[in-house]
Copies of this chain bind each other. A is one copy, B any other.
């Protein structure tokens, strides 16, 4: 594959038509939320900006934004909440890459934060981004009761009980072991799906959705997030490092608990498709208004050409 291509060209992913516009909106919103590079102490702000602007696809903010638009096409609060979710996602990548955890040198085709800035700065940059996420949510332009609900959802999704950190711990503990299907499900739902679910829920809350709609979109988000991690497992086996922008085949080398390892590739593809179908079914009541979320779901799970 030729060098210098965009991720889209390299992996042959079909981005939804509105994706680039949303992504640019997110980039523009992220910028003023981060301290400038020369704000003292400058080293931490350089590291934070390096990691946040390392070329993420902004899937979580875009899901947040589009979930809100079902209920309020002009929600500004969702854009801000989406940025907070991107900060949490970025912090989790920085810490996961550390030598004591996954020990990765490469992320999105660039040196990982600790490789570039040292371990101390990387630990603190992750801490700072997690903190900044909640500072950002506290300023979302939506009534305080909804703001608090968003904070509650996001904090739970990032936490240890069925949340991201819990999933990461279980993932580390499962390395090199034969694990049961239930544990694999727990890991994927906690490690990845919880925060994606929270992105959709935060969007719905910011858009003013009623309680039942928030719950319904939560089910969409949970299933699409789960499917997303199954696809991630599959891509780690099927794609080259160049296409992924990170070391491919690492799951197998580290004997990680993955869907392909437990079920094989074909069955994994099938499971991801089933989860995505189940997710998309949750969007039925919203008809045309949910068309973008539908396209996002298809992109996230059926994203290979």
Contacts and interface: CB of A to CB of B under 8 A. Distances in A.
Interface of A: 35, 39-41, 43-45, 48, 91, 95, 98, 100-101, 118-121, 123-124, 126-128, 130-132, 134-135, 137-139, 143-145, 147-148, 151-152, 155-156, 158-161, 163, 165-166, 168-170, 172-173, 186
16 contacts: A35-B160, A41-B160, A41-B173, A43-B173, A48-B160, A101-B124, A121-B169, A124-B169, A127-B127, A127-B130, A132-B159, A134-B155, A135-B151, A135-B152, A138-B155, A151-B151
Contact of A135 (B131, B139, B144, B159): B159
Grouping DSSP codes into helix (H, G, I), strand (E, B) and loop, the A interface class, with mixed when no group exceeds half, is helix
Nearest to A121: B169
How many copies of this kind of chain does the complex include? Answer: 2
B100 A169 contact: no
Q: A121, A137, A159, A173 — which one has the most chain B CB atoms within 10 A of its CB?
A: A159
B152 A123 contact: no
A156 B139 CA distance: 12
Given A147-B144, A148-B148, A165 B120 contact: no
